[in-house]
């Protein structure tokens, strides 16, 4: 049973969906279906898969055209700063998507990182649904209006310089070694994995990071490594 009024979201975003079920599906978390097995909608994971690809294409094309003199590495870092889970969750929160999530009673209570990932995934699913309903141009307008607008702030604050890149540069310059990362622990089902990853210089463990993806755990390890080494 869907109790959310998605017409409110359409008004908030000034976007009217032709297929209202497609809009609703973008917000259906797999946990919601466990408690509502008669719901005629699927979960949002396929839409998330589609939206992720569209988001990457739109952001990549925008950066390529906007910054003709930037290197591939710089463009990659800028793109990563826009399409990572933290930024997608923040933008989703700003847009009010959190109020329309369809979650199980257990997931409703989850906050912090768990909710951040659900919001980021829902953001991508919404883009996937928008693409199927209205095409690529509507997606470009939406992404440029609500996500790419964060770019000046990201550049001004240097937020595109991820800790892994900085740690590698410092390690190579200071000790002539390229850091390597190893999974120290992992647990949880495939859709909710958790990792502890160590960053090493040669055989020496410098720091550990934890996260819901290897990328997040590696970034956490690099951040701690910079503090440990006072770099």
State the catalytic residue, choosing from 48, 52, 107, 162: 52
Q: What is the C-alpha separation between 129 and 17, in angstroms, rounded?
A: 9
What is the rounded distance in angstroms from the CA atom of residue 67 to the CA atom of residue 146?
19
Concerning whether 210 is annotated as a catalytic residue, the answer is no
What is the C-alpha to C-alpha distance for residues 98 and 119, in angstroms, rounded to an integer?
Answer: 7
- Per the structure block, which two tokens stand in for 120? 């980021």
Helices (H), 15-162: 20-25, 30-35, 45-66, 72-83, 85-95, 105-108, 112-134, 136-146, 151-157
52 is an active site residue: yes
Q: Which of 124, 133, 162, 218 is catalytic?
A: 124
The residues annotated with a catalytic role in the active site are 52, 124
């Amino acid at each position: 049973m869907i109790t959310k009024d998605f017409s409110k979201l359409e008004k908030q975003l000034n976007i009217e969906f032709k297929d209202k079920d497609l809009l609703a599906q973008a917000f259906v978390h797999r946990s919601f279906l466990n408690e509502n097995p008669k719901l005629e909608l699927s979960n949002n994971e396929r839409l998330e898969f589609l939206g992720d690809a569209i988001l990457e294409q739109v952001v990549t094309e925008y950066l390529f055209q906007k910054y003709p003199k930037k290197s591939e590495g710089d463009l990659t870092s800028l793109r990563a700063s826009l399409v990572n889970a933290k930024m997608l969750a923040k933008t989703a929160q700003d847009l009010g998507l959190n109020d329309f999530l369809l979650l199980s009673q257990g997931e409703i209570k989850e906050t912090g990182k768990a909710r951040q990932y659900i919001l980021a995934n829902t953001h991508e699913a919404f883009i996937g649904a928008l693409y199927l309903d209205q095409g690529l141009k509507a997606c470009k307008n939406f992404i440029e209006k609500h996500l790419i607008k964060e770019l000046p702030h990201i550049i001004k604050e240097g937020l595109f310089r991820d800790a892994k890149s900085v740690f590698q540069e410092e390690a190579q310059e200071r000790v002539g070694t390229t850091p390597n990362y190893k999974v120290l622990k992992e647990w949880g089902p495939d859709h909710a994995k958790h990792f502890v990853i160590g960053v090493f210089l040669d055989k020496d463990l410098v720091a550990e990071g934890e996260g819901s993806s290897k990328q997040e755990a590696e970034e956490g390890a690099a951040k701690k490594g910079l503090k440990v080494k006072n770099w």
